[in-house]
Structure formats: structure tokens, C-alpha cells
Structure 1
């Protein structure tokens, strides 16, 4: 499946829509892994960055959860129930923001370590 060139929607939106249909339609069962970013990029013939954006959309909707081992489909019925109670999207948004802050912190830590290593006489102070 490739992204339609004549579709006015962005490629990540098209990929997210396809995966959303598969999750809601049962082709991807709750708890099953969606595939690696590389596999999905190959499947849709898009870049890994575009796949990440598509997965972010589904994560924000609560249709998938991401662990260190990959992206897993959630039960769309449970997502709908959580959404109607008003808590489902709030939690996914908090998790998305936490992931973003963690990523920024890791990047900042690396930058500080490189800066400290480049300073003369700083390497032996720790």
C-alpha cells in the first residue's frame, strides 16, 4: 500500500487513516504490534519521520500505545469508552508530552556532556 499522490491529505494523515481503519475494523487486533517504523515506512513508501507522525496521531487518539518494544494496537471499544468518560485523550496527551520532555531532556544531557568534555581540565573533575 502506498500513499496516493493525488490525495490532497498529507502522507502521514493517509497512513494514520489506513492504520486507524485496520485497528477499528479488526484487521489489527488489540494488543498486536503494528510493525516497526522501518516496516511501516516500507509498506506505505514514506519516510520513517512521516510514519512517526502518523503513529503520533493514533497515539493521541488513544488507538495505540508505545513501549520500548514497539507500537501496539489498543481495543477501539475501550478507547471509545475512555473518550466518553472524558479521561482517555487527556491521559494520552499527558503521555505524549512526557515523551517529548524526556526526549528533550536526553538531548540536553548529551549536549551538556559534549560541552563539558570539550572544556580543558573538566574531564578529570568528575
Structure 2
């Protein structure tokens, strides 16, 4: 899909509206990726900066959550949670963040093990 040049809305607003509709209609299901910035920029034929702006709009509306692993749709029926007393964080959002942290820790552990093995090999040579 390309952004319509004759549409009076800004390109980021058009992209946000398309993604908003897809989330609300269930085309993009809660917890599923909406696409990377690069994929969305290509899909809408807009710059990555414009995509970031569109994603920010959806994040502000509570339709999207972003982790280090990507952008994920949230359940549109849940709303933003703004103004709800005692409302806690969305469980799926917490689980995504835990998964991301776990992945980062695993990568760090692997790097440390490689560095230690490399360092140990050098020490044996001396």
C-alpha cells in the first residue's frame, strides 16, 4: 500500500490509520508483530522516521507496544488503561519484555563464555 498524495492527512497519519484499522479488525491480532520499521517503510513507501511517528501515535492510543524485539499489536478492547485506578501493566506486554531480557542475557552469557575461552587460550600460550 502506498500513501495517497491527494489525501489531506500527513503520511504518518495515513499509515497509522491503516494499521489502526488492521488491529481493530483483527487482521493484526493482539500479541502479533505489526512489522519492523523497515518493513513498514517499504510497505507504505515512506521514510523510517515517518513510520516511527505513526507507531508513536498507535502506542499513545494503547494499540501498540514496543519492545527491543519489535512492535506488537495490543487488544483494542483493552484501551490505553489511562485513568483506570489500580490498572496494572498488560500481562502480554510484561511477558514480551521478560522474553526480550532473557534473550539479551543469553546473548551476553554466550559472549562472556567466548571471551573467557579466548582469554584462557592466550593465557595458556604464555
- TM-score category (smaller protein): 0.5 to 0.7
When normalised by structure 2's length, the TM-score is 0.65
Please identify which structure carries the higher helix content: 1
Unaligned runs of 5+ in 2: 89-126
* Count of residues in correspondence between the two structures: 87
Which portions of structure 1, spanning 4 or more consecutive aligned residues, are displaced by more than 3 angstroms?
none
Counterpart CA distance in 2 for 1:13 and 1:50 is 9
- The 1-side partners of 2:66 and 2:21 are apart by 19
Structure 1 vs Structure 2 CA RMSD:
2.1
The reply on whether 1:17 has 2:17 as its aligned counterpart is: yes
Structure 1: tracts of 5 or more residues without a match: 92-126
CA distance in 1, matches of 2:74, 2:42: 23
- Per the normalisation by structure 1, the TM-score is 0.65
User: Larger Rg: 1 or 2?
Assistant: 2
Counterpart position of 2:30? 30
Residue 70 (structure 1) aligned with residue 70 (structure 2): yes
